[in-house]
Structure formats: C-alpha cells, structure tokens
C-alpha cells in the first residue's frame, strides 16, 4: 500500500525521542542527501546517528563530480543494532551506493530494520541496497531514474514521483529520486516517525 504524504512546511512536527540511523560509506555520498536529512531530522527533535563503514571521515561529493563537505561519523554500522533505532536512512551518491550495496553488514542491518517493522528510507541510488537486501519485491518505490530497471527487475513497482511511501509488507518504505527531492523526503520520514508509537530503546 503506497500513499502520498503531506509535507510539513516547517519543523513544528516533533519527533523528540525518536532515534534514526543513517548508513554511509566513507567516500562518494551525495552531500545534500546526507547532510540535509540529518539536519531536518535533528531540527524536528530526533536523535540521529551517522554510521559509516569505517571510523574515518566521510568524504562527500556533489553531483558525483566535485568534492563536497567532510562529515565525521558517530560510529560504524558494524557496531550498531536495529533494535536501538526507529528508522534507517540510506543516502545516495553513485559511488557510495555502489559500495554500500555489496557490504554484507549493511545488508543485514537493513534487513533487520525491515523484519522488525521499522521505517526504511532511501534516496537516489540508495535503493540499490534495498535490492541486495531483498526488500524490493512487492513494493512501490522510486529512485534515480537510471536504476529504475534494476528495481523493476527486483520485483518492485517504480514511480516517477518526488517521494513514495509504501506501508505494505510489514514495514514502511520511503524513497525519493534525487537531491532536489530531499525536502519532501525528509518531511515524509518525519511524518512517518511522528505516527509511530513509543521510541526505540536507547
């Protein structure tokens, strides 16, 4: 079941007490798809943890071409558990997403969020990790257009919309296409978190 969420126009929607994990490799993540959702979620009251593959700075890119900001991760994703979080966010960036989708630790972590009925969100090329984690079949979703065939071949229904929310299959999946969609993407995550029950244990 998919839906078109309504987007908060500001940060009045509070998700205080919610815990969100962001997964990234250490190079090639699209700058705005990492920094802007983190900022929006924190502004709305969530506690956000950025987990990278290694305990080293995350070097971002802008449009896969020029260097972006460097982000210091809070931990590595090999050291965290889905039990401690209410949602997981997977940013894009072609290089980042291509490396992330082959990482078995990232795959296991994403599957754990889904099997526990938690929110899974991915943007741009980030849905590549959804394919490798077996989370696409039967889902309606979107992505950067160039990987739409990959998602359809994995059993998903691809839509050309700025954000798609699918609540079927036991977990909520939120996807968006590109950096220009970061605002509605972030708003959809905030709305989904606001509708959940008690926060995950710390």
For 117-176, the DSSP string reads T-EEEEETTTHHHHHHTT--TT-EE---GGGHHHHHHTT-EE--SSEEEE--TTS-EEEE
Give which of 56, 10, 17, 20 is closest to 189, Cα–Cα: 20
Q: Which of 40, 124, 129, 131 is catalytic?
A: 124
Q: Is 198 a catalytic residue?
A: no
Q: Is 125 a catalytic residue?
A: yes
Which residues are CB-neighbours of 42 under 8 A, at least 6 positions away?
48
- Tell me the three state secondary structure of residue 178: coil
Interatomic CA distance for residues 81 and 66, integer angstroms: 33
Q: Which of 18, 19, 101, 125 is catalytic?
A: 125
The 3-class secondary structure across 92-132, one letter per residue, is: CCHHHHHHHCCCHHHHHHHHHHHHCCCEEEEECCCHHHHHH
Provide the annotated active-site residues: 124-125
């Amino acid at each position: 079941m998919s839906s078109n969420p309504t987007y908060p126009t500001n940060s009045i929607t509070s998700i205080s007490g919610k815990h969100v994990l962001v997964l990234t490799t250490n190079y090639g993540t699209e700058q705005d798809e990492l920094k802007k959702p983190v900022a929006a979620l924190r502004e709305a009251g969530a506690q956000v943890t950025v987990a990278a593959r290694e305990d080293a700075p995350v070097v971002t890119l802008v449009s896969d071409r020029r260097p972006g900001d460097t982000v210091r991760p809070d931990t590595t994703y090999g050291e965290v558990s889905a039990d401690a979080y209410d949602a997981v966010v997977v940013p894009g960036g072609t290089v980042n997403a291509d490396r992330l989708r082959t990482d078995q630790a990232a795959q296991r972590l994403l599957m754990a969020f889904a099997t526990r009925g938690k929110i899974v969100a991915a943007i741009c090329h980030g849905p590549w990790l959804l394919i490798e984690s077996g989370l696409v079949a039967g889902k309606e979703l979107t992505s950067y257009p160039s990987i739409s065939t990959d998602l359809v071949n994995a059993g998903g229904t691809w839509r050309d919309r700025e954000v798609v929310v699918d609540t079927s299959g036991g977990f909520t999946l939120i996807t968006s296409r590109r950096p220009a969609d970061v605002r509605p993407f972030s708003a959809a995550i905030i709305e989904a978190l606001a509708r959940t029950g008690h926060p995950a244990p710390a």
